[in-house]
């Protein structure tokens, strides 16, 4: 789990004020980190084209040219000149060396974007946009210095951005690099040290959120010998009109360790033999999954679910029905909400006076999740997307491991089942949501078929192999 920060400027300034480090020293380490990456991944005498902007991001690129000159075929392109004090200092230094300056873009093995880094607040001008398009047309491996040019502090392109294969970001991981809108641009994100240990660099600063890593996944492994099926909980999955949705949730829950899983309600589909079916909530229910496959809601079953105090996952059709307001009032109950963006907008507009649409949400995912959780601190929220956000009260986590394989109907039903399974086994809402989301994404990553071919049932099968690391 890695801390995420909205901005690293306060952390940099503490290095100046408390550690007696200078801007020059931090810049040297930033560029050394980029140089080390290039040395590790590209053989000597590979060609590098470093495209620099007018400010300190450009200065980082100029330092990089100095560090690699000689071992690599380095060409430096300054399309706008330089403007910041540090950029002028670094330019004076490289001019004392035998570095080749070019007046236009050229093909190279590695293309480095050092035009604009963190802190961009205005739209890119036409000349910069044209430059980015021309850089992307080059065939070389593309590296972004700190932040791809064009990405703002919230992770939005203004209105476009450089498409990087890898982003080497400085000091600490930035929250904006993990927005849905940024995911297409950042590639792999790697943090670079700035001359002090990362714990010293971030010491005393509270992260805005945390990045979930694959190693954070805790599986519901069975380590005790003296157990029975009741030891691992009894999940009730409420059957909706689209019965397949509930069945997939039930199967994923059973695969993820729930001792018993019952489909509740009238079910016309022939159920798999491992699932049970009842008309009412079982008396020993330890968690409930509700909403998958629903369009209409029966008052009687809703009343039974509301009267239960079992932890509950609410999903899908429930976010467009005012019934959900009654659940949100249950402040002593473990409640997990798992909407996709359109469903979250529907939920928001039922509960909050300020109107919201999907476009505004996607451009401000972190902000809107925080606003919602401030109003409903007892609820655990998972906002689906390219990077899932899990939040409860002031705690916020980002799961960046999702892939386009998951963009298929039914994967959300599998997710609800995974979370509900952990709730049934005794996990808290936040724990169940974090580990259920990680299991989903890592199960999808493990799928070895074609990128377009994965079915929700394939994920369920892969989840059954996670403990052995298959």
Structural domains in the chain, sorted by start:
2-207 (3.40.50.10260), 215-468 (3.40.1190.20)
pLDDT in the model for residue 223: 81
Residue 149 · residue 53 · CB < 8 Å:
yes
Whether 73 shows a pLDDT value over 80: the answer reads yes
pLDDT tens digits along 151-175:
999 999 999 999 999 999 999 999 9
Flag the least confident range among 295-304, 358-367, 459-468: 295-304
For residues 117-135, give the mean pLDDT: 92
pLDDT in the model for residue 386: 94
pLDDT tens digits along 371-386:
999 999 999 999 999 9
**Burial, 125: exposed, middle or buried (Cβ in 10 Å; 0-12, 13-18, 19+)?**
exposed
CA distance 249 to 270: 15
pLDDT in the model for residue 154: 93
pLDDT in the model for residue 110: 97
Whether 269 shows a pLDDT value over 90: the answer reads no
pLDDT in the model for residue 137: 95
62: left (phi over 0), alpha (psi -120 to 50) or beta: alpha
Flag the least confident range among 91-95, 220-224, 234-238, 398-402: 220-224
**Burial, 154: exposed, middle or buried (Cβ in 10 Å; 0-12, 13-18, 19+)?**
middle
Any bridge partners for residue 380, and if so which? 336, 392
Flag the least confident range among 18-22, 135-139, 298-302, 460-464: 298-302
Whether 229 shows a pLDDT value over 80: the answer reads no
CA distance 317 to 58: 49
pLDDT in the model for residue 341: 96
Instruction: Using the structure block, give the residue that is written with the tokens 């040290």.
Output: 193
With bands split at pLDDT 50, 70 and 90, how would you rate the model's confidence at 38?
very high
For residues 337-354, give the mean pLDDT: 96
With bands split at pLDDT 50, 70 and 90, how would you rate the model's confidence at 254?
very high
For residues 10-21, give the mean pLDDT: 92
With bands split at pLDDT 50, 70 and 90, how would you rate the model's confidence at 362?
very high
CA distance 458 to 446: 10
pLDDT in the model for residue 293: 85
Q: Which of 227, 271, 234, 268 is nearest to 254 (CA)?
A: 234
Q: Measure CA 367 to chain center.
A: 14
How many CB atoms sit inside 10 A of residue 435's CB?
23
DSSP 157: B
Q: Which of 450, 379, 445 is nearest to 411 (CA)?
A: 445
Whether 298 shows a pLDDT value over 80: the answer reads no
Instruction: Give, in degrees to the nearest 5, the angle at Cα 240 between 236 and 245.
Output: 80
Q: Which residue has the higher pLDDT, 144 or 227?
A: 144
DSSP 117: -
CA separation (Å) from 138 to 108, 134, 153? 8, 7, 27
Look up residue 454 and give its two tokens. 């994965």
Whether 296 shows a pLDDT value over 90: the answer reads no
pLDDT tens digits along 411-443:
999 999 999 999 999 999 999 999 999 999 999
For residues 98-104, give the mean pLDDT: 92
pLDDT in the model for residue 469: 67
For residues 189-218, give the mean pLDDT: 94
pLDDT in the model for residue 198: 92
Render the burial of 10-25: b for 16+ CB within 10 Å, e for the rest. Answer: ebbebbeeeeebebeb
Whether 470 shows a pLDDT value over 70: the answer reads no
Whether 224 shows a pLDDT value over 90: the answer reads no
């Amino acid at each position: 789990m890695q801390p995420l920060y909205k901005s690293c400027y306060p952390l940099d300034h503490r290095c100046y004020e408390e550690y007696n480090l200078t801007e020059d020293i931090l810049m040297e380490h930033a560029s050394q980190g980029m140089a080390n990456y290039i040395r590790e991944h590209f053989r000597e005498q590979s060609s590098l084209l470093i495209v620099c902007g007018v400010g300190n991001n450009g200065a980082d690129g100029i330092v990089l040219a100095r560090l690699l000159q000689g071992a690599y075929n380095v060409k430096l392109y300054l399309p706008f000149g330089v403007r910041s004090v540090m950029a002028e200092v670094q330019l004076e230094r490289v001019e004392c060396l035998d570095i080749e300056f070019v007046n236009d873009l050229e093909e190279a093995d590695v293309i480095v974007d050092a035009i604009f880094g963190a802190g961009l607040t205005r739209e890119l001008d036409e000349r910069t946009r044209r430059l980015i398009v021309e850089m992307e047309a080059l065939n070389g491996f593309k590296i972004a210095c700190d932040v791809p040019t064009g990405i703002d502090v919230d992770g939005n392109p203004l209105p476009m951005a450089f498409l990087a294969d890898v982003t080497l970001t400085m000091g600490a991981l930035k929250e904006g690099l993990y927005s849905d809108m940024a995911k297409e641009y950042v590639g792999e994100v790697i943090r670079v040290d700035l001359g002090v240990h990362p714990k010293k660099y971030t010491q005393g600063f509270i992260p805005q959120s945390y990045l979930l890593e694959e190693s954070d996944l805790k599986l519901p492994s069975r380590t005790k010998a003296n157990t029975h099926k009741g030891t691992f909980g009894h999940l009730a999955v409420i059957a909706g009109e689209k019965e397949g949705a509930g069945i997939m949730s039930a199967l994923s829950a059973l695969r993820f360790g729930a001792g018993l899983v019952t489909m509740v309600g009238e079910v016309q589909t022939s159920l798999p033999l491992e699932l049970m079916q009842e008309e009412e909530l079982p008396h020993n229910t330890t968690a409930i999954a509700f909403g998958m496959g629903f369009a209409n809601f029966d008052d009687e079953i809703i009343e039974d679910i509301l009267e239960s105090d079992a932890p509950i996952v609410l999903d899908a059709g429930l976010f467009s029905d005012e019934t959900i307001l009654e659940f949100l009032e249950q402040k002593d109950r473990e409640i997990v909400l798992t909407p996709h963006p359109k469903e979250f907008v529907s939920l928001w507009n039922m509960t909050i006076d300020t109107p919201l649409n999907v476009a505004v949400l996607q451009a401000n995912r972190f902000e809107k999740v925080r606003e919602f959780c401030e109003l409903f601190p007892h609820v655990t929220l998972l906002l689906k997307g390219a990077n899932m956000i899990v939040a409860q009260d002031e705690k916020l986590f980002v799961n960046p491991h999702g892939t386009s394989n998951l963009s298929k109907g039914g994967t959300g039903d599998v997710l609800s089942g995974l979370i509900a399974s952990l709730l049934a086994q005794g996990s808290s809402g936040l724990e169940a949501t974090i580990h259920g989301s990680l299991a989903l994404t890592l199960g999808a990553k493990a799928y070895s078929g074609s990128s377009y071919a994965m079915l929700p049932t394939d994920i369920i099968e892969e989840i059954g192999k996670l403990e052995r690391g298959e």
